[in-house]
Amino acid sequence: MLQLPTTSRLIRFGTFEVDLRTGELHKKGLKIKLQEQPFRILAMLLEHAGDIVTRDELRRRLWPGDTFVDFDQGLNKAVNKIREALGDSAESPRFIETLPKRGYRFIAPTNGTNRHSEPTEFADDPQPQAGKNSHSEGTSGDSASRRWAIGLRSAAALGTGFLIFHFRRLLSSSGTD
């Protein structure tokens, strides 16, 4: 179960809201059922929104060394449950991007998150507090390059839309002559 911090940590994205304090996911105010393990993965992805969370980081934080499960199958099943709850897909992700053989990244814009705060504590978390900052030192560079990539994609989409609009106008005006 989640350990309750002193303040509520709400993270909003799209029509969803996640309360890290209570361990609840809501869509348009309605509670969405999500099991503990998938919720913990979602919380970890939200805490590092825009950055890669490696499969190894997820394994170390969420599956203790003395747990004997098929990690890959368990992780894939948990991520699929998150995607199902969010109405997301691996083929055309809106929220969770899969980086094959590496991990996952939360790609939607979020409101209300403090990305540089301490990770959410879990009562049965096997890792000691000091070992929790396991993400790479290049995180801010990854985040900056991700913002550039999003900016470039947006500019390309706007440019494409502009060209389509003007070509359609040109074609329609040449057909009336």
pLDDT at 46 (0 to 100) = 93
Least confident of 15-19, 36-40, 61-65: 61-65
Which residue did the predictor score with more confidence, 128 or 28?
28
pLDDT at 43 (0 to 100) = 92
Sorting pLDDT into bands at 50, 70 and 90, what band is 140? very low
H or E segment and range at residue 23: none
SS3 32: strand
Segments of the chain assigned E as strands: 10-13, 16-19, 24-27, 30-32, 52-54, 96-99, 103-106
Residue whose C-alpha is closest to residue 138's, from 60, 11, 52? 52
pLDDT at 27 (0 to 100) = 94
- Residue 42's identity, in one-letter code, is L
Contact yes or no for 19/41 (Cβ under 8 A): no
Sorting pLDDT into bands at 50, 70 and 90, what band is 39? very high
In this structure, how many other beta carbons lie within 10 angstroms of the beta carbon of residue 102? Answer: 12
pTM of the model: 0.58
Instruction: Give the CATH architecture of domain 10-135.
Output: Orthogonal Bundle (1.10)
pLDDT at 175 (0 to 100) = 61
pLDDT at 146 (0 to 100) = 65
Domains in the chain: boundaries? 10-135, 137-177
Rg (CA), the chain: 20
Contact yes or no for 113/11 (Cβ under 8 A): yes
Least confident of 35-44, 108-117, 132-141, 149-158: 132-141
Is pLDDT of 125 > 90?
A: no
Phi, psi of 104 (to 5 degrees): -135, 160
Which residue did the predictor score with more confidence, 115 or 30?
30
Contact yes or no for 102/52 (Cβ under 8 A): yes
For the segment 144-155, what is each residue's pLDDT rounded down to a tens digit?
666 666 766 777
| Measured distance CA(160)–CA(147) in Å, rounded | 20
